[in-house]
Structure 1
């Protein structure tokens, strides 16, 4: 039994530790999910801030470009006033002088030649003979300007008799990035094209461009390893390379796959797919991956264009690479906290379990002690009665002898009848052969006499039969059933008070029945009578747990207890307990 208790104790400890571990594992993964969610939120916040800063930068750049464009228009009008209306009458030297005087890099005159529009005069020798036929929408703008003196395409800056294209690499010298303006009012046979090298905007880009903003954000948040701008139109696709008229190869500013930021944590096709999905689904794409042996969280945040001018404002994606080491630090902290909680909770649980087990053992020892004391008292009562009979034996013999001498035969018959009945009752109890049962029966006989109840008991001699039921439990079962019967019987007139207790065994089954008169129980009462707290007695008389305890003890031995109730036989409780499991 001690081994079983220790085993149960350890099982409970293991179960408590298991529950704590499961709870903390769930907490760990929940925390991990939350931390990663926070990382994604930080990435989105950084991307939003970067987008706002880039939008402001673009607004500023567009404003500066518009100012430069307006200045170029003014230069073009001043140039018109100083030149002959026919390009053939204009010299390159004149254009050089006017360029220096008006403060622009160069001035070129464009004139239609067949199906092309060509540079015919210029302060820059590279521009002379320059074809614009393959310039796309630029060529369209030139044709509209010559035909209608107005440009209607969505791209570029449009003013009366004037159009300015976006800042771009020069076709004649891709090493330069210039801003061009084109003026034609019909008074000349050529388009006046002044342009300047974009030194001011380059300088502004160095002071407040996307890369400057991006680097400042990374410095403020060391967990962000890298931020990248991906051009949705060109990233992941074959590089779109243009060829200048001098044969040099270059990539247009608006065809760059990565217009700003660094791109060192590259994953090729996966990044391209993420960029495509982010724009097409218009939602952030985020995942954890390992790049260059480093675990990172990548986020791709889409940015849709705000205008119809897809050349100047194209859809792009901001990529944010977040160091997973930051997440690991938080999770490690959670693991340490988790281990500490497990240790503390396990220790507290062990202390609590020890206290509970001690209380259970103390209560159990107390219950055993009380039962044993009652059992011993009942045994003492029985043996006291037997000793009393032996002590009174000589008195009885002398009384009988005297009555014989006095020839009082009727009195003698009555006296011996009473004497024999008392002796038979004691002998019946002794012949039960089970000390505990004999003791409980004797104690109930005394109680029955006090309550004026005709207590009838009949037991088959058990002899050396091993019942397999603890004496404490057999006393509980019989005692509770008889007490319950006594409580019901005392409600009746004295002449109708009787209780019948029987016990016997057949084969390998022990039977105990207790029967008493009283009101008939219906099916609902039969069902509820074994529930803890339920009682048919007056409130306050009993706690209503006697029959519940009896059923629990019978069930412990795999037995059954049933109740039958009718007007003729009264109420009968029938207990059957198999002996195979507990007997020899």
Structure 2
């Protein structure tokens, strides 16, 4: 099968394009790899910053809330003792609701209750809130022991509560009388009195502070600084597992502590519930409401979880644009290099084409074809060598033409002379042969006559010898005649062969001249 030819330009273009395509592919893969790495790095860096900021905000808020609660504890203790001074009695029966209302307004308290002991129970007998009157304290064993200790003038110790001489301040609790509302309750037993003073205030101050300077404000600030952050939420996985915890102790447990959690999906709920049992970082990409978002979940202190939702397109957009610009720059650079190399190749290819055309012209017999290249490169050396070769070939063929012309002339002259010599020799040899045969005949006849004369005397020894010599002379004469004939024939054949060979030389010279005539000299 004949192999299909391919031009040098086509081979170069194909290979160069293939190389640059491979380079472009490798460059794209490398850029894509590093772009993904950069995206991961940016995500990790920003989420760590957000995580630390929110965690720091939560810690500061908790600390501030505890400080506020402690200040409230001190204030409500002072208020309880001041109420005792204002009431100035040891009997609950001497106290009126109107008195309590005036004191409440004066001290800026939410409400005041007077609790008396009836049997083993503690019942509200007087109160600024009518709904509280008759309410029986829902006492746990620990709380009951503590109130009993206060009533008996002892100094109880209860975990997570403030206690002192005849004083108990509980953590903020949900109200049994007003479900969904949380209050700070204090219980004070004046010395010698038959009742407990129970002032309490709403816990909204702590909640208000948390909203103003807590993680919620941090979340808004961070989301304002970073447009690609769509949502930051602090979650309580335990409440997702047990929603009933939302209606129990203060602080009110919620699924969503801070933030909105507006991009939640079923998968998010399962992820959070799973993190309640095994807290570990989780992340995945989802499409929510037609928008591609990246969701990250980080466990933090106090068994909480920070959920961060990022706009994947907006977050990766600058990096993608940067990569596109970089890729475009690389592509333009590669194209520029390609054009530069192709232009350089075209210059080299043009010079090679000159040499190819020169060789093609030589192939078709043009021994005047020359190439003109002056670039100081190896191609110039090749061109000069080829030009020298053409000059030498031209000179060689001219010399051959000259010699062939001379040979043709000499062969024609030789052929003519051989022809003339052959004719003359043929005439001479014919005459010589005829003459020698005639002479042989005469000699033979003469010798026969002598033998005939001597035959009668052949008994004579001398005569006998003479007859033998005559016979010998006859044979010699025959041989001489035969040799002359043979020489004449051989000489004739030689001249004939010389004539034929001179003709062949003439034909060869003519053929050589015809072939040389095909060259352009």
Q: Greater relative contact order: 1 or 2 (C-alpha under 8 angstroms, separation 6 or more)?
A: 2
Question: 1:341 is matched with which residue?
Answer: 330
Q: Using the alignment, how far apart are the partners of 1:91 and 1:371 within structure 2?
A: 132
Alignment check: 8 A CA contact 1:227 1:321 kept: yes
Q: Do structure 1's residue 174 and structure 2's residue 171 form an aligned pair?
A: no
In structure 2, the partner of 1:402 is none
> Whose Rg is larger?
2
2:317 aligned residue (295, 319, 329) = 329
Unaligned runs of 5+ in 1: 243-249, 306-314, 394-584
Taking the aligned partners of 2:172 and 2:157, their CA distance within structure 1 comes to: 19
Alignment partner of 2:243 out of 230, 238, 242: 238
Indicate the residue corresponding to 1:296 in structure 2. 293
Pair 24,290 (structure 1): closer, same or farther in 2 beyond 3 Å: same
Distance 2:379 2:392 in 1: 20
After superposition, the Cα gap between the structure-2 partners of 1:37 and 1:191, relative to the gap in structure 1 and judged at 3 Å, is farther
1:69 aligns with 2:69: no
Deviation at 1:265, TM superposition (A): 0.7
- Aligned residue for 1:264, secondary structure, equals coil
TM-score (norm 2): 0.60
Return closer, same or farther for 1:388/1:149 CA change in 2, 3 Å cut-off: farther
**1:180-329 alignment, distance < 5 Å:** 180-184=185-189, 187-198=192-203, 200-205=205-210, 207-240=212-245, 242=247, 253-274=251-272, 276-277=274-275, 280-281=278-279, 284-305=281-302, 315-329=303-317
Superposed CA deviations along residues 4-54 of structure 1, whole A, max 9, x for unmatched, are: 551343122122122123212321332133124313322331332233233
Check whether the contact 1:92–1:122 (CA below 8 A) recurs between aligned residues. Answer: yes
Distance change in 2, residues 1:239/1:76 (3 Å): same
Give the match for residue 154 of structure 1: 159
Q: 1: CA distance between counterparts of 2:14 and 2:119?
A: 100
Measure the CA separation in 2 of the matches of 1:3 and 1:142. 106
Q: CA deviation at 1:335?
A: 1.8
By how many angstroms is 1:91 displaced?
4.8
Contact 1:168/1:179 (8 A) holds in 2: yes
Paired with 1:147 and 1:268, the residues of 2 have a C-alpha distance of: 55
TM norm structure 1:
0.54
CA contact (8 A) 1:111 1:189 kept: yes
Instruction: Please say if 1:25 is aligned against 2:23.
Output: no
**Residue aligned with 1:180, SS:** strand
Distance 1:338 1:136 in 2: 73
- Once the two structures are superposed, the pairs formed by residues 320-399 of structure 1 within 5 Å of their partners are 320-330=308-318, 331-355=320-344, 358-359=347-348, 365-366=379-380, 368-369=382-383, 372=386
Aligned length: 376
Aligned pairs (5 A) from 1:31-50: 31-50=35-54
Give the aligned CA root-mean-square deviation in angstroms.
4.1
Q: Taking structure 1 as reference, are residues 112 and 269 closer, same or farther at Cα in structure 2, changes over 3 Å only?
A: farther
2-structure distance, mates of 1:238, 1:206: 23
**Structure showing the higher helix proportion among its residues:** 2
Per-residue deviation, 1:175: 5.2
What is the deviation of 1:150? 4.2
Higher strand residue share: 1
The 5 A counterparts of 1:125-140 are: 125-133=130-138
Q: Which residue of 2 aligns with 1:13?
A: 17
**Which residues of structure 2 form unaligned runs of 5+?**
353-376, 408-521
